[in-house]
Amino acid sequence: MVIEKLLVTHGHLDHCSAVADLRDRLQVPVEGPHQDDAFWIDQIPQRCQEYGFPPARSFTPARWLAHGDEVKVGDLLLNVVHCPGHTPGHVVFVHAPTGIAFVGDVLFKGSIGRTDFPRGNHADLIQAIKERLFPLGDHIRFVPGHGPMSNFGDERRSNPFVRG
């Protein structure tokens, strides 16, 4: 396997505190998240200390991503969907031909991402899920940042946070 680039969904520590070290070790570019998460990434060293994480460095992606962008990884083309709410700059990566989405912490099986961190916004998160993810189709299976996979149809019908 050849690692070609690092894709970042959002700026929280549990998703990107190792990015600077991995980028330097692997000599690969970093793409994502949306620039609205720059404040999270800039605070990585302080937040690591505050939350008891090992020391880590901030980084600047080679490319900030925006809604509608495309990211090429090998022969695959991923569509970028900006889904603010968990963080303001959260992005989701969708591979339409296989019906797979990498949703980070936007949506989980039976739940949604937290919005009680700085600049989180519950209304924005629900709107992004309903207006940007669910219209992609019930068949889309998603890989969340934590927990088991699910699909948009099951979550649209049964997830208590986004039903109705």
pLDDT, tens only, 75-112? 999 999 999 999 999 999 999 999 999 999 999 999 99
pLDDT at 144 over 70: yes
pLDDT of amino acid 72: 98
Average pLDDT over the chain reads: 97
pLDDT of amino acid 163: 82
pLDDT band at 141 (very low <50, low <70, confident <90, very high): very high
Q: Find all residues with CB under 8 Å of 19, minimum gap 6, and list them.
A: 6, 8, 30, 59
Q: What percent of the chain is modeled with pLDDT above 70?
A: 99
Mean pLDDT calculated for residue range 46-56: 94
Mean pLDDT calculated for residue range 120-134: 98
CA dist., res. 128 & res. 14, Å (int): 22
pLDDT of amino acid 62: 99
For residue 82, give the 3-state DSSP assignment: strand
- What is the set of domains in the chain, with CATH numbers? 6-158 (3.60.15.10)
Mean pLDDT calculated for residue range 23-33: 98
- CA nearest to 106, candidates 119, 87, 123: 87
Number of CB atoms found within 10 A of residue 21's CB: 12
CA dist., res. 93 & res. 74, Å (int): 14
